[in-house]
Structures are given as structure tokens and as C-alpha cells.
Amino acid sequence: MKNQFDLSGKVALVTGASYGIGFAIASAMAEAGAVIVFNDIKQELVDKGAAAYAEKGITAHGYVCDVTDEDAVNALVSKVEAEVGVIDILVNNAGIIKRIPMLEMSAKDFRQVIDVDLNAPFIVSKAVIPSMIKKGGGKIINICSMMSELGRETVSAYAAAKGGLKMLTRNIASEYGQYNIQCNGIGPGYIATPQTAPLREVQPDGSKHPFDQFILAKTPANRWGEASDLGGPAVFLASSASDFVNGHILYVDGGILAYIGKQP
């Protein structure tokens, strides 16, 4: 059974994985035997990420690349293929959020979120699929969100992007399943990372942020997720244990989507 989850000999590219969820997913994949490749927009973050992996005893190959830049992504994939090997596992993790009420949001801001959270997974997937086909298969994991299913105030662009990413996931599965490529999504619940730090800030009087209390009341597990909670699900979707799972979104949310919320 253990062998089904073994990633030995596999090359995994996790985008935006210097810290946060991407870092935790890449670390879990390394523990399962994969060779890790990651990217970030800035050299200093790549260096920081490489040091953090090294501290865990993981040799990770870090590259500077903006995932919204198609030429840069194509160059990155060629470089990785030459220097490390064909990418067997792609995790489209890099993402941004802008919390702005829709009527105050500029079209420019809206487009930027769509660009990173939806267009980039299209660009990076498109760059890796041809070699996966030649090699006889591959795994693509798109990091979706609660907002692939739910809306809330201030996150119109993010919800539109993550809803779109769910459908891109199903479409890649539909179009390339015949080549033994499985494309699935992970929909994390509310996870304690820098992205959600503003929602968890302790108030000047020492009390919890109202959003923090709101999330605890909405989560049967009664806690925020840790980035490490995503490791096991990601290894499953990257491994042969999931070879007949395709186009699925695995929500890792402590039960949020099953729950109406804590009764008053």
C-alpha cells in the first residue's frame, strides 16, 4: 500500500512555493520521494525558500519566474527539463487575493487577480502537458478554494478566478485524460498563512479578529487549517494511488462546506 504513495523518481514543480501552502505541499512531496522544483517572482524569495527547504534536509531547485508571463514560463519549463528532468507533477499553487468591495474595485485589479489565479494555471499547464504526453502521463493539481464554491463580500475577482480554476481543472481532465494525465484540484479551507494573516490579526484590545471568530464558527474542526494539512491530500493526488481520480476537487476544509455554521 505504501508504494502507491511513493513519488520516488518523480519531478514535481510547485509554483510560488517559497513559503505557505506551496512550501508545505512541496515538503510533503519531497518526503514521499519527489525531486522538488519551485519558483517565485523575486530572487530573494527563491533564496529564502531554498534555505527553508535546506533546513528541512530537502534539496529543492528554485527559479525566478512570474507565472503570468508565458514566455518566461516556457523558458522555465525548458530549463527544468534540461537541468532536472521532465515535470511529472505540476502544482499550480501561486496565487494572490485582493479584498476590495466590487463597486470600489478597478478593472485593472480584477484582471490582475484573474491573471495570477486563473490565466497562469492555464499557461503553466499548457507548458508542461506536451512532455507529459510524450512521457506517457502526468499529474496536475490546481489549488482552488472555498471560493470555488462560495462567494463573500470583497472577493469577487478571487471567487471568479477560483471558480474558473475548478472548471479549468475539469476541462484539462476531460481533454487530456486519454493521455494518462490526471488533473485534480485541492480546495483548502481557511489556512493560517501570510495570505490570511490580515483576517487573523489580534485586535488592539487583545481580542480575536471578528473574522477569526467567524471562521471558527463556520468550521466543524473549530480551528484554522495549517499548511501541513494539505500535504497528505497533495501526495495522494500526485501518486499512483489516484490514477483513476480525474477532474475532482478535493476540499480540505475541516468540514466548512458541509456545515451551516455554529448555532447561536
* Active-site amino acid positions: 158
Residue 99's binding partner among ligand GCO, ligand NAP, none (Cβ under 5 to 8 angstroms by kind) is ligand GCO
Task: Mark residues 133-162: x for contact with ligand GCO by CB under 6 A, - for none.
Answer: ------------xxx----x--x--x----
Residue (116 or 128) nearer to ligand NAP, CB: 116
Output the smallest distance, CB 23 to ligand GCO, in A: 16
Q: Which does residue 236 bind out of ligand GCO, ligand NAP, none, counting CB within 5 to 8 angstroms by kind?
A: none
In terms of Cα–Cα distance, which of 161, 167, 214 is closest to 189? 214
- Classify 211 as helix, strand or coil: helix
Residue 24 contacts ligand GCO per CB under 6 A: no
Task: Mention every residue, 6+ apart, whose C-beta is less than 8 A from residue 27.
Answer: 53, 56, 58, 231
With cell 481557511, the residue in question is 190
| Residue in 190, 212, 230, 233 binding ligand GCO, rule: CB under 6 A | 190
Q: 191: helix, coil or strand?
A: strand
Nearer to ligand NAP, 44 or 243 (CB): 44
Cα separation, 46 vs 54, whole angstroms: 12
| 165 touches ligand GCO (CB under 6 A) | no
Residues 6 or more apart whose Cβ sits within 8 Å of residue 124: 13, 15, 67, 73, 77, 90, 92
Task: Enter the C-alpha cell of residue 65.
Answer: 519566474
Q: Which does 152 bind (CB under 5 to 8 A by kind): ligand GCO, ligand NAP, none?
A: ligand GCO
Structural contact between residues 171 and 214, judged by C-beta atoms closer than 8 angstroms: no
Q: Give the residue from 26, 44, 123, 27 showing the smallest Cα distance to 77.
A: 123
* Site size for ligand GCO (CB under 6 A): 13
Q: Given the complex with ligand GCO, which of 43 and 195 has the nearer CB atom?
A: 195
- Using CB under 6 A, list all residues that contact ligand GCO: 97, 99, 145-147, 152, 155, 158, 188-190, 195-196
